[in-house]
Amino acid sequence: MTETDPKMYDVVVLGAGPVGENVADRTRAAGLSTAIVESELVGGECSYWACMPSKALLRPAIARADARRVPGLRHLVQGDLDAPAVLAHRDDYTSHWKDDGQVGWLEGIGADLYRGQGRLAGPRRVTVTGPDSEVTTLAARHAVAVATGTRALLPPLPGIADIRPWTSREATSAQSVPGRLVVVGGGVVATEMATAWRALGSRVTVLVRGKGLLPRMEPFAGELIAEALTEAGVDLRTGTSVTAVARVDGTVVVDTDRGDRIEADEILFATGRAPHTDDIGLDTVGLTPGSWLSVDDSLRVTGTDWLYGVGDVNHRALLTHQGKYQARIAGAAIAARAQGVPILETDRWGAHAATADHAAVPQVVFTDPEAAAVGLSFAEAEETGRQVRAVDVEFASVAGAGLYADGYRGHARMVVDLDRQILLGVTFVGPGVGELIHSATVAVAAEVPIDRLWHAVPSYPTVSEVWLRLLEAYRQG
């Protein structure tokens, strides 16, 4: 196949992770012929190296921790986790790193899969270099959607590649439990993997350059999780940077700026993400290779009328559920434009605008305790110049929390816009709060007035009664 004889499609999607799959699903449902290109496994990072394997590793640890807080049960769960069983369960959830099921799903919706490295080759053109080095050219009548995600970002330490460090991929796919593990970073991946591997028996040391954990959430979230990790036996060191790493006779040797030398079997760098756009031909359409893609609310790349940047590549919200949300919006927008339907860019509640990425992004950190948040933190809300107030309660005041776990420890905060009387953000920290955050997401995304929230009565006795306590605290203040 040559450049002069491309295979024609209405839409071409680069990347067959959850985001690319959802774009293809929506465009196919609208009757548009769609090709999707993938260089690795269909199903992407979330299915094989992120969301699914990490939560499969964490679930036994959290279930055991919850059981240990229940009278009449705690004495039965004092032993170690069955590490081989946990790892086998994780392998099942990754389909043993085989994508047959995902490929079958793509075939079921009628999308054509091209395996290989996809690159833009000018406007509405994509070349695919297959495993056999054969090059196929695809042409898109209406749109090309880039959904190639991100990759782990390693710090520029001399010799770091030579020590074969773990990134999030190795941390979620390892086939044995390291005796000693150093985790570098203080964000979501660092805290979740420290939780999982400590529960599986590793002696874990966490090195955090900043003052605390989870710096993008309310300060109390990082503080409560730091306390819990320390109680679990994690050696947590804040204000500490790695200055050198080496692997000597199989042992990782880590030097820090505080003069410490730490030895471990493995080291995980959870130090950020970079866009996976360095080798997809951005230069052929006037964009910078390796850059984040700037997009409008319909996910169309700034300055183009055919190119879309969906999911992590646009840096709006590096979360699978937000990427899938964007994909649904992008697919609808592509279909509407293909059919000549006008899109109102100012319609923030419409089907073609990804407005939740600005104000109502939910996230759960699956540590013990869990941390869950949506919208703005108090500090972020203050920075907007609005008149705001933080309302705080301890979960100890909630009857359902005590029933859920003996000695339940947790904290809740809602951030109120005093002028509009709506919620700008909500944060929960405590066992099981991941299942609470959607109620907060509805309140924030829908801009439900506080006066109306009084009529959303929580069931008694559940942990959700924290909502009543928050509203009471707001009224009393």
Pairing of strands 362-365, 370-375: antiparallel
Rounded Cα distance between 13 and 38, Å, is 9
For residues 50 and 320, is the Cβ–Cβ distance under 8 A?
A: yes
Q: pLDDT category, 5, cuts 50, 70, 90?
A: confident
pLDDT tens per residue, range 239-256 = 999 999 999 999 999 999
pTM exceeds 0.75 for this model: yes
Tokens at residue 263, please? Answer: 């030895």
For residues 184 and 270, is the Cβ–Cβ distance under 8 A?
A: yes
Residue with tokens 């009224």: 475
285-317 as b/e, with b when 16 or more CB fall inside 10 Å?
Answer: bebeeeebbebbbbbbbeebebbbbbbbbbbbb
Rounded Cα distance between 412 and 427, Å, is 6
Q: pLDDT category, 25, cuts 50, 70, 90?
A: very high
Rounded Cα distance between 263 and 180, Å, is 8
pLDDT of residue 1: 42
Tokens at residue 344, please? Answer: 């109102």
pLDDT tens per residue, range 240-297 = 999 999 999 999 999 999 999 999 999 999 999 999 999 999 999 999 999 999 999 9
Round the average pLDDT of the chain to a whole number and report it: 96
Burial degree of 30 (CB within 10 A; 0-12, 13-18, 19+): middle
pLDDT tens per residue, range 327-351 = 999 999 999 999 998 886 556 667 8
pLDDT tens per residue, range 213-242 = 999 999 999 999 999 999 999 999 999 999
Rounded Cα distance between 54 and 139, Å, is 37
What sign for the dihedral angle of Cα 255, 256, 257, 259? negative
- 220 contacts: CB under 8 Å, gap ≥ 6: 411, 413, 427, 429
Rounded Cα distance between 59 and 47, Å, is 16
pLDDT of residue 10: 98
Percent of the residues in the chain that have a pLDDT greater than 90, as a whole number: 94
Find, among 190, 365, 379, 164, the residue nearest to 272 by Cα: 190
Burial degree of 269 (CB within 10 A; 0-12, 13-18, 19+): buried
- DSSP letter at 312 equals G
Amino acid at 470: L
pLDDT of residue 359: 86
- 166 contacts: CB under 8 Å, gap ≥ 6: 174, 266, 267, 268, 269
pLDDT tens per residue, range 428-441 = 999 999 999 999 99
Length of the chain: 477
pLDDT tens per residue, range 88-138 = 999 999 999 999 999 999 999 999 999 999 999 999 999 999 999 999 999
Coil/strand/helix, residue 17: coil
Averaged pLDDT for residues 180-187: 98
Find, among 425, 409, 406, the residue nearest to 470 by Cα: 425
Rounded Cα distance between 56 and 58, Å, is 6
For residues 2 and 116, is the Cβ–Cβ distance under 8 A?
A: no
Q: pLDDT category, 471, cuts 50, 70, 90?
A: very high
Tokens at residue 66, please? Answer: 């919850």
Measure the N-to-C terminal CA separation of the chain; round to a whole number of Å.
71
- 249 contacts: CB under 8 Å, gap ≥ 6: none
Averaged pLDDT for residues 70-82: 94
Rounded Cα distance between 114 and 195, Å, is 38
pLDDT of residue 2: 44
Pairing of strands 203-207, 388-394: unpaired
Rounded Cα distance between 187 and 170, Å, is 17
pLDDT tens per residue, range 195-206 = 999 999 999 999
For residues 171 and 268, is the Cβ–Cβ distance under 8 A?
A: yes
Question: What residue ranges define each of the domains in the chain, with the CATH number in brackets?
Answer: 7-48+94-151+275-356 (3.50.50.60), 160-271 (3.50.50.60), 369-476 (3.30.390.30)
- 8 contacts: CB under 8 Å, gap ≥ 6: 33, 138, 139, 141
- 337 contacts: CB under 8 Å, gap ≥ 6: 142, 143, 343
pLDDT of residue 4: 55
What sign for the dihedral angle of Cα 413, 369, 262, 162? negative
Residue with tokens 């999911």: 311
Tokens at residue 462, please? Answer: 């559940």
- 207 contacts: CB under 8 Å, gap ≥ 6: 182, 183, 184, 185, 237, 240, 241, 242, 254, 256, 262
Averaged pLDDT for residues 162-169: 96
pLDDT of residue 154: 95
For residues 7 and 1, is the Cβ–Cβ distance under 8 A?
A: yes
pLDDT of residue 346: 55
For residues 374 and 426, is the Cβ–Cβ distance under 8 A?
A: yes
Residue 306: pLDDT over 70: yes
pLDDT of residue 3: 47
